[in-house]
């Protein structure tokens, strides 16, 4: 795949565009519009339809004698990383078209699929523990859980910020996912309900090591974009984005500064004899509590599945 970012970095003056790929079936150009905003446009013969932008993307359409143009311009440079991915997707997803006349329809359809991602950030960011926690949940959803019950079922089982105390629950199984920094000797349980159930479940723990932003590791933006592409239907992709949005996530280049490597992944069976606090074993007067569990003391509860 071409490096769109490097191509954009080469532009310095407004109203300058160059063709993305001379071998591409479509006449696609990237550059800076009259306001100096990063833009991608299609030049072709087509009948324009109404395409509305978002708070972060302007959509403009022009008619000339030789061809028409549809242009997508980025308003907020804090979303440049997302815009590069959008441009790369436009280029690659239309590369194998058989007829140049199909380009306009294909590109507008791709934009509609990306549209919900392009909303201007409120500049309220997740804290680092929240970033790590969301990374852990997504890793478990698309990895071990999807391997066991399928990606679609894993998505349906993900509670996100819904009014439930378990991160994942399906059929007669439940999973609580925690993410800690490498070297931590304990894990924080934030309520009496998190490990409380009449049915056995699992406590899943990811250990992450923080790396340099230049390291090719796991970052929240990249993980969410990659996971979004894994879903077969647009409805599932939208559902996934809605669930990460409910946790306070909006795309911003800020999150690219937080890069991690998974240093450990462990699953523990949580049954009646697992050490935990619940409403059943604390005094009635205690309505809320959080507590730490020592990882060295629950080694005998580890499970491989």
What residue segments make up the domains of the chain, in order of their start? 4-117, 128-303
111 and 87 in contact (C-beta within 8 Å)? Answer: no
213-233 pLDDT, tens digit per residue, is 999 999 999 999 999 999 998
What's the average model confidence in pLDDT over 45-53? Answer: 94
Share of the chain above pLDDT 90, in %: 86
Q: Band of the pLDDT at 196, cuts 50, 70, 90?
A: very high
Q: Average pLDDT over the chain, rounded to whole?
A: 93
Place of tokens 């403009």: 60
Higher-pLDDT residue of 246 and 154 is: 154
pLDDT at 164 over 70: no
pLDDT given for residue 304 in this prediction: 86
pTM: 0.86
Q: Band of the pLDDT at 40, cuts 50, 70, 90?
A: very high
């Amino acid at each position: 795949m071409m490096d769109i970012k490097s191509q954009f970095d080469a532009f310095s003056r407004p109203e300058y565009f160059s063709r993305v790929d001379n071998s591409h079936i479509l006449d696609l150009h990237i550059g800076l519009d009259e306001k100096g905003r990063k833009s991608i446009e299609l030049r072709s013969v087509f009948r324009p339809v109404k395409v509305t932008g978002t708070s972060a993307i302007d959509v403009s359409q022009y008619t000339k004698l030789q061809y028409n143009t549809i242009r997508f311009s980025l308003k907020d440079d804090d979303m440049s990383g997302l815009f590069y991915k959008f441009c790369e997707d436009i280029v690659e997803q239309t590369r194998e078209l058989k007829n140049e006349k199909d380009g306009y329809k294909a590109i507008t359809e791709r934009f509609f699929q990306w549209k919900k991602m392009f909303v201007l950030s409120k500049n309220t960011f997740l804290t680092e523990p929240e970033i790590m926690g969301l990374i852990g949940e997504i890793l478990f959803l698309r990895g071990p859980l999807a391997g066991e019950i399928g990606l679609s079922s894993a998505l349906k089982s993900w509670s996100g910020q819904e009014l439930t105390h378990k991160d994942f629950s399906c059929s007669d199984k439940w999973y609580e996912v925690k993410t800690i920094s490498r070297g931590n000797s304990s894990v924080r349980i934030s309520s009496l309900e998190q490990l409380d159930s009449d049915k056995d479940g699992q406590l899943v723990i990811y250990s992450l090591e923080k790396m340099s932003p230049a390291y090719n590791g796991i970052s929240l933006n990249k993980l969410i974009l990659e996971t979004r592409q894994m879903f077969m239907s647009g409805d599932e992709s939208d559902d996934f984005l809605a669930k990460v949005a409910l946790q306070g996530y909006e795309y911003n280049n800020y999150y690219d500064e937080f890069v991690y490597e998974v240093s450990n992944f462990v699953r523990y069976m949580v049954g009646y004899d697992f050490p935990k606090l619940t409403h059943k074993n604390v005094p009635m007067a205690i309505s809320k509590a959080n507590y730490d569990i020592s990882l060295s003391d629950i080694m005998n509860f580890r499970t491989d599945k």
